[in-house]
Structure formats: structure tokens, C-alpha cells
């Protein structure tokens, strides 16, 4: 889904800071370059885009049909929408992932689901810090789950899926 | 001032300025300068029917035209020395006793004349002032001209000068297309920075909605703020999960 504000901001930022400054400030190519993730058992694949963290909160992709990527040392955090604007999105079905299911990256790396769990959004922050902590070449997928709270305007749970690199 | 007083004054002026030719006549009654002024209403009160012919004496001055009734013996001679005057028709009177002069440079409507009629006893200068204040077309246009002339200028000035500012400030539309100036660019930048505040995103769902008017939901909040405002490149370890859904396909919705 297009978000004009983002585009206009980028245009504005380019105008104000200049292309060189933008390139310098953008996230490193490690997690900034676009990849394609494929979930073969789900028949789903999606491109990635860089996301960031604000005040400790992990961001989400601008395009709800893409996956957001934020690289923590050895732990590639991957965020995808479960729904958006009345449609199920890229990670809507990933909640049904089973152990061992494959995840492929376009750069040739292959992963398999090591574990998954559901955390409440207001769970102990240590639990979330643990999920997002540095690791040894893993993927951590995060998407929304559980009931949606009208008053909080958010899902109350998150599904966290850890995938380990295939040898 | 009474109507009668005015008429006396007028008659006195008339007699002094234009003494009748019959002033040398032996009969004092033939001398109109000393003849008693007689109005139509005065006639019945006279002890006896006065002799002579009733004439309407017309005198014109700067203020207007005054018409008075006189009774003269030698009508022909008297009329000869009073051009404009006339014999009063039988059974009628001389008509209006005073008709003010109309402004010569304006098209003062009839109502204006009647309004000025109230000030017939005023001196010339006062009458002029009154006439000037009469809302005749010329006077009115002179007085109103500055206001009407100024209004479009002021309006145009306000429109041109303030419209962009108000639009940018109030509607947040910022009109980025039409303005390439520094002011609008600053507004847009400020708006983006404010709306993308992570604190607002995290704490106020209303702010989230305001941030993503186009998207219409708060789900974009994190992405919007995070992806763009971390251009400084500061690395943070996340400890708060993302908000990656808007609930539009939720199986369960709770308050």
C-alpha cells in the first residue's frame, strides 16, 4: 500500500540534506539491501525493506506486503504484517508454522524453524529483549496475533518464530 | 423657530432689497415694504376684508426659494417690479412656502430635498453642511469611496499574504505542490517531524491516526517514524514488539 507521506518526506529529506547525506545516514547494506524471503510450505515469498527502532520499538515495513528487516548481531529480525486495510498480509499464515519448516533467502541462505512462541505485547520486556538479542546466524520472525484491542488499536499478542541456519 | 417668524424675516429682507416702485405712493397700504404680512390663515382673522389682490411673492436666495402671500393694490405695477411673483389663484394658496435649492452637482433624490426641508431656517453655511451630509449620490460616493477602495486592497492583501500561512498551519495540507519556498518547506518538515514522534506513536493512538492519514490506521506508525527518523544512524536494540497489523482481519476483537 502506498503511503504518500513517506514519499514526500523522502523527497523533502533529499532536498534538505542532499543525496550524499542520505546515503551516509541510511542503514548499512547488511540489512538495507533488499532480499527475498520464501516460505515454500506456505507458497509465500516477499521482498524485504529496512526497518528501524524508535525508543526501543521495532518498526514495521512501510509496504505491508513486504517484510521489514532489522539486523542485530547475528539475529536478523524480520517483521511482517498479519493484516492491513482489510487484507491478510504476508505473514498472516506464518503463525501456523511448524518446527522444521524451511525459510529461504534469495542470497542462498536457508533456515528452518527452530521454535515459535506467543508473547503478549505487554509481556515482560526481558522476554522481548531476549527474542531480539544477538545470536548466531538466526532469523527471528515477528508478527501480530491474538485478539485485537479496539481501545489500544493493536493486537495484544505477537508470534515469535526463531529459525536457525541450515548447515 | 416658528414658521411665522421665518416668513417675517423673509419679507423684511425682501422689502429692503427690492423696494417697490410704489413706495412714493401716498397711501401707506400701497407700500408693500410696510404692508402687514398676511398668510392665508391670517385672512379670516382680519377684522375686515382687506383691499387689494393677493399675490405670491417669490424670492430666491442661496438657501432656496421662498414664496409668501402679499396683498397689493396695484398688481400690474407690483408684478412688474417682482419678476417671478404671481397672483395667487382663487381658492388656492401659494404652495410651499419654501423650496430649498437642490445641489447643482449631484442628483439628490426627492427624499433628500424633503430631508433638507427640515433645515430651512438654518443659515447658508449650515444648510450647505446639511446638504453635504445628505446621502446624495455624489456626497455618498465621496465618503464611501475610501472604504470601498480600501476593502478590495485589504482583502486582497490578506488573501495573498496570509492564505498560504493559514493553509499550511491549519490544514496540514501544506500545499507542497504550489509552493517551493522556504516557509512551506519548513512547515512540511516540521509537520513530519512532529507527527513521526515515536512518543506519540507509542502513547497516543489518536496521534498515530493523525500521522497516517492516508493509510488510515496506526499500524504504519512504527514504520513511518522508525524508518525515516533514524537517519542519524543511531543503532538501538529493540525491546518493544512491532505493531504489524490493523485488526481488519482479526478473529477476535476486544474492547
Residue B206 lies in a domain: yes
pLDDT tens-place string over residues B167-226: 333 333 333 333 334 333 333 333 333 333 333 334 444 443 334 333 333 343 333 334
Q: Same domain for B26 and B50?
A: yes
Q: How confident is the model at residue A135 (pLDDT cuts 50, 70, 90)?
A: very high
The angle subtended at Cα A43 by Cα A40 and Cα A49, nearest 5°, is 85
Task: Return the pLDDT at B48.
Answer: 56
Q: Please, which residues 112-151 of chain A have a Cβ atom closer than 8 Å to chain B?
A: 119, 121, 125, 128-129, 132-133, 142-144, 146-151
Q: Please, which residues 209-248 of chain B have a Cβ atom closer than 8 Å to chain A?
A: 211-220, 222-233, 236-248
Percent of all residues in chain B with a pLDDT value above 90, rounded to a whole number: 5
Query: Is the CA virtual torsion B102, B106, B108, B114 positive or negative?
Result: negative
Q: Same domain for B41 and B20?
A: yes
Q: Same domain for B95 and B116?
A: yes
Q: Same domain for B19 and B69?
A: yes
Does the structural domain A28-165 have CATH classification 2.40.260.10?
A: yes
Collapse the DSSP code of A10 into the 3-class scheme (helix H, G, I; strand E, B; otherwise coil) and give the result: helix
Q: Same domain for B170 and B129?
A: no
Collapse the DSSP code of B245 into the 3-class scheme (helix H, G, I; strand E, B; otherwise coil) and give the result: coil
Q: Same domain for B43 and B165?
A: no
A95's grid cell: 503463525
The angle subtended at Cα B132 by Cα B129 and Cα B137, nearest 5°, is 170
| Structural domain of B169 | 146-232
Task: Return the pLDDT at A119.
Answer: 94
Claim: this prediction has a pTM higher than 0.80: no
Q: Same domain for B129 and B164?
A: no
A132 to chain B: which residues are within 8 Å by CB? 237-239
The label of the residue with cell 446638504 reads: B131
Task: Decide the pairing of beta strands A154-165 and A138-149.
Answer: antiparallel
Is the CB of A60 less than 8 angstroms away from the CB of B217?
Answer: no
- DSSP letter string over A9-30? HHHHHHHHHHHHHHHHHSPPHH
Helices (H), strands (E): how many in chain A? 3, 12
The angle subtended at Cα A137 by Cα A136 and Cα A141, nearest 5°, is 110
Cα gap B88→B54, rounded to integer Å: 6
Collapse the DSSP code of A84 into the 3-class scheme (helix H, G, I; strand E, B; otherwise coil) and give the result: strand
CB A67 within 8 A of CB A7: no
A96's grid cell: 501456523
Q: Same domain for B209 and B184?
A: yes
A85 to chain B: which residues are within 8 Å by CB? 215-217, 246, 248
CB A47 within 8 A of CB A36: yes
Q: Same domain for B150 and B37?
A: no
Q: Residue range A49-63: average pLDDT?
A: 93
Residue B174 lies in a domain: yes
B215's grid cell: 493509510
Beta bridge partners of A138: A75, A164
Tally the domains of chain B.
2
**Of B67-71, B121-125, B198-202, where does the model show the most confidence?**
B67-71
Residue B214 lies in a domain: yes
Mean pLDDT of chain B: 53
Residue B251 lies in a domain: no
Q: Same domain for B79 and B187?
A: no
Cα gap B207→B187, rounded to integer Å: 18
Burial environment of residue A94 by CB neighbours within 10 A (0 to 12, 13 to 18, 19 or more): buried
Q: Same domain for B10 and B124?
A: yes
Sequence ranges of the domains in chain A? 28-165
Cα gap B65→B137, rounded to integer Å: 23
The residues, ordered by sequence, that sit 6+ positions from A16 with a Cβ below 8 Å of its Cβ are B185, B189
Q: State the CB neighbour count (10 A cutoff) for residue A53.
A: 24
Amino acid at each position: 500500500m502506498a503511503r504518500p507521506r513517506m514519499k514526500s518526506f523522502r523527497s523533502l529529506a533529499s532536498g534538505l540534506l542532499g543525496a550524499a547525506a542520505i546515503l551516509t545516514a541510511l542503514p548499512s547494506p547488511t540489512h538495507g539491501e533488499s532480499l527475498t524471503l520464501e516460505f515454500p510450505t506456505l507458497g509465500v515469498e516477499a521482498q524485504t525493506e529496512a526497518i528501524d527502532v524508535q525508543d526501543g520499538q521495532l518498526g514495521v515495513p512501510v509496504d505491508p506486503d513486504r517484510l521489514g528487516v532489522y539486523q542485530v548481531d547475528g539475529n536478523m529480525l524480520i517483521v511482517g504484517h498479519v493484516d492491513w486495510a482489510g487484507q491478510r498480509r504476508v505473514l498472516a499464515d506464518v503463525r501456523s508454522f511448524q518446527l522444521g519448516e524451511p525459510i529461504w533467502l534469495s542470497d542462498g541462505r536457508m533456515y528452518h524453524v527452530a521454535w515459535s512462541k506467543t508473547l503478549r505485547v505487554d509481556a515482560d520486556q526481558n522476554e522481548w529483549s531476549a527474542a531480539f538479542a544477538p545470536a548466531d546466524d538466526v532469523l527471528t520472525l515477528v508478527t501480530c496475533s491474538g485478539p485485537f484491542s479496539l481501545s489500544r488499536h493493536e493486537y495484544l499478542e505477537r508470534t515469535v518464530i526463531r529459525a536457525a541456519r541450515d548447515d | 423657530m416658528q414658521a411665522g417668524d421665518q416668513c417675517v424675516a423673509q419679507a423684511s429682507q425682501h422689502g429692503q432689497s427690492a423696494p417697490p416702485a410704489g413706495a412714493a405712493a401716498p397711501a401707506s397700504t400701497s407700500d408693500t415694504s410696510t404692508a402687514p404680512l398676511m398668510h392665508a390663515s391670517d385672512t379670516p382673522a382680519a377684522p375686515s376684508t382687506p383691499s387689494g389682490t393677493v399675490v405670491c411673492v417669490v424670492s430666491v436666495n442661496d438657501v432656496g426659494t421662498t414664496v409668501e402671500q402679499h396683498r397689493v393694490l396695484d398688481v400690474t405695477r407690483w408684478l412688474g417690479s417682482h419678476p417671478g411673483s404671481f397672483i395667487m389663484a382663487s381658492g388656492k394658496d401659494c404652495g410651499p412656502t419654501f423650496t430649498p435649492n437642490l445641489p447643482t452637482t449631484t442628483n439628490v433624490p426627492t427624499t433628500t430635498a424633503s430631508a433638507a426641508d427640515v433645515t430651512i431656517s438654518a443659515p447658508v453655511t449650515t444648510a450647505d453642511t446639511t446638504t453635504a451630509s445628505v446621502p446624495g449620490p455624489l456626497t455618498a460616493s465621496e465618503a464611501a469611496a475610501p472604504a470601498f477602495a480600501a476593502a478590495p486592497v485589504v482583502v486582497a492583501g490578506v488573501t495573498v499574504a496570509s492564505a498560504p500561512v493559514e493553509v499550511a498551519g491549519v490544514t496540514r495540507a501544506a500545499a507542497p505542490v504550489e509552493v517551493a519556498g522556504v516557509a512551506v518547506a519548513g512547515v512540511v518538515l516540521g509537520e513530519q517531524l512532529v507527527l513521526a514522534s515515536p512518543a506519540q506513536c507509542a502513547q497516543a493512538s489518536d496521534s498515530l491516526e493523525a500521522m497516517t492519514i492516508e493509510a488510515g490506521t496506526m499500524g504504519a506508525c512504527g514504520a513511518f517514524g522508525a524508518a525515516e527518523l533514524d537517519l542519524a544512524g543511531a543503532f538501538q536494540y529493540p525491546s518493544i514488539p512491532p505493531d504489524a497489523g490493523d485488526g481488519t482481519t482479526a478473529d477476535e476483537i476486544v474492547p
